[in-house]
Structure 1
């Protein structure tokens, strides 16, 4: 079985960001739409390759 290609996600940073946003929401008791982007990384392993044929 080949090792799978995956996307590495910054889980600790996601958690810290979620807590920060939740704290702001609780303190202000209001909510504004917010878009947050965190960096991910493609980890290419043995399950990635050219199409057959």
Structure 2
């Protein structure tokens, strides 16, 4: 009898979950960054004595 070859199909699944995790974390960071800027923008405008059109 010949030995059975190792299953190669389990490895791509691990990479897919890792890729999904990296993409989810990246998207979360992008959303968080946008939220921080949106919350901080009024204080930045006030501190720099700008109007809203100059801040954009």
Higher RCO by CA contacts (8 Å cutoff, separation 6 or greater)? 1
Q: TM-score normalized by structure 2?
A: 0.36
Structure with the larger helix share: 2
